[in-house]
Chain A
């Protein structure tokens, strides 16, 4: 087993991204929806296609109907903080007949809405809600875009890079006016706060 695999593994030892604009799936998107594909690459056998933000729902529909990517694995986002369109919205789709995954990405500026694909894949519903909750990226056309992991009325979006790791004072935790003798945070602790 090891002998057969050896050459392939040596090549894999230093994985590098290669251009994948000639990949059949990318060509298929290009043919059906011209001017939607921005770029395409392949890394470690995984194809990533970057598409125009406004076309994401159409691309998802095309991949589902024409290319048989019927299973929406996951939707999430990446916050690049200083980059011009601030966020990447990342979709993972899987095809049972091809036994393969494709990653579709689009960009989103702060406050920009991305077309929802919840009407294409039922599974996208909660994933988009989570992305909204964690990053504050809105999805236009989503049937029920509410927060999911934090609560309604929570201020901020925790997975943004500028959200503090130690959290924010939400007012949900109430501390007694005075700590019992020897209890509570140290007097020198800058985080010590007294909320009645």
Chain B
């Protein structure tokens, strides 16, 4: 029987003081244990008889279907893997299981009727979908959104970003065996969903924006409750970070997994936390500000290594920034109009526009072609998840099957958006 690995981080018992020396010593012990285990394994393999000629033990390539019904694919993603033992030689994503023809539906309904369909794209972040759709139509019409509506839209967007990142943090933690953060993140997400419910009556499929502004004004006391939640939120993020950021198991599963350079990110069209994790300070809220993002004070967090761990850090930092943005917006909020001057029947000029927002997953764009009637002639969605998923084979190549789970998590896909 092999010796048990040494227990790492003994310092934790003494008031949690985990010094660098203790960590490096623990890592050395562990590495020695691994080396010993590898030696023992090699000796055991040598001792056992060599495989008889004619068996397949020397060629171990095989094809493995991963999904579509697999909990770590967060929906119905199927991957056809070519594996050599545990090592992935090739991964081919197969998408489309959730295709509902949303773009076709847009063409058959008037402009305002399209908004509820956008909820069903990225169903974890409905507000940003609504926002991108409304921005595209507003650009086509040349409508100005009143200031109060702009600020509330930003608050809703950022609350949505928080809830989306919380879902991501919880579920991708579970994928890698860290079950605890899930209960913490969903505790806060529940509160955010309650805010949405109070505002528009829905928790997930929000339908919370209208062309030219908002459907309703805020309910009394909503801003106070949100600001109370937000002032408490950074402490909650500390709690998640305490569970994961310095967790050695978490780091071993994420550091150096799925490394991608900034140049490759651009080449693959990757956006959102992925490109920022690779060191490109690019965020549409900063690069091409919409609504009132240009007057808000926030930082675009970036990291340099471009691995799964860095993308985790970027998302956590983004949550802190979102909390800052919400606080600023609530301070600026003043009574006023919530809808701009939009005609009763929306008939934009026969033109085309592309409008995009920074959704929690990356650049979410709507390309709208009008032929002058009250229905869009063509409405195309540029979903961040779809484009980001394209790079999964590149990320997965050479990694182990268990790392694939980490990689699907780190891209943060929502299949509703991938398949539309």
Contacts and interface: CB of A to CB of B under 8 A. Distances in A.
Interface of A: 1-2, 9, 12-17, 43-44, 46, 48, 70-74, 76, 78-79, 90, 92, 96, 99, 101, 103, 121-123, 125-127, 130, 134, 147-151, 158-159, 163, 165, 167
A149 B142 contact: no
Nearest to B354: A92
Contacts of B266: 70-71, 96
Interface string B353-364: 110100000010
B: contact size bracket = 35 or more
Contacts of A127: 387
Given A1-B295, A78-B378, A159-B104, A9 B139 contact: no
A92 B352 CA distance: 12
A12 B269 contact: no
Q: Is the interface of B mostly helix, strand, loop or mixed?
A: mixed
A31 B387 CA distance: 32
B99 interface: yes
A15 B269 contact: no
B267 A123 contact: yes
B367 A121 contact: no
A64 B356 CA distance: 21
Nearest to A147: B96
A166 B278 CA distance: 44
B365 A73 contact: yes
A91 to B, nearest CB: 11
A44 B367 contact: no
Contacts of A99: 287-288
Given A74-B367, A123-B269, A149 B353 contact: no
Given A1-B295, A78-B377, A101-B354, A158 B96 contact: no
Contacts of B288: 99
Given A73-B382, A76-B380, A123-B390, 6 more contacts: A12-B144, A15-B351, A44-B139, A71-B269, A148-B96, A158-B101
12 contacts: A13-B142, A14-B142, A16-B349, A44-B351, A72-B269, A78-B377, A96-B280, A101-B354, A149-B95, A149-B419, A150-B96, A159-B104
B104 A165 contact: yes
B365 A92 contact: yes
Nearest to A144: B92
A138 B369 CA distance: 22
A12 B353 CA distance: 14
A148 B419 CA distance: 9
Nearest to B383: A74
Nearest to B419: A149
Given A72-B269, A123-B268, A15 B352 contact: no
B386 to A, nearest CB: 7
Nearest to A125: B390
B320 interface: no
Contacts of A125: 390
Nearest to A11: B142
A15 B352 CA distance: 11
B250 to A, nearest CB: 30
Given A44-B139, A76-B367, A149-B99, A103 B351 contact: no
Interface string B382-404: 10001100100000000000000
Given A43-B351, A74-B382, A90 B267 contact: no
Contacts of A48: 352
A148 B95 contact: yes
B351 A2 contact: no
Nearest to A100: B288
A51 B99 CA distance: 32
Interface string B129-152: 000000000011010100100000
A44 B140 contact: yes
Given A126-B387, A158-B101, A73 B363 contact: yes
Interface in B94-126: 95-96, 99, 101, 103-105, 108
A21 B57 CA distance: 65
A104 B133 CA distance: 22
Contacts of B280: 96
Nearest to B143: A13
B340 to A, nearest CB: 10
Nearest to B420: A149
B293 interface: no
Nearest to B353: A44
Contacts of B369: 78
B125 to A, nearest CB: 19
What are the nearest 6 A-B pairs in CB distance? Answer: A123-B269, A149-B96, A74-B382, A15-B142, A76-B380, A149-B99
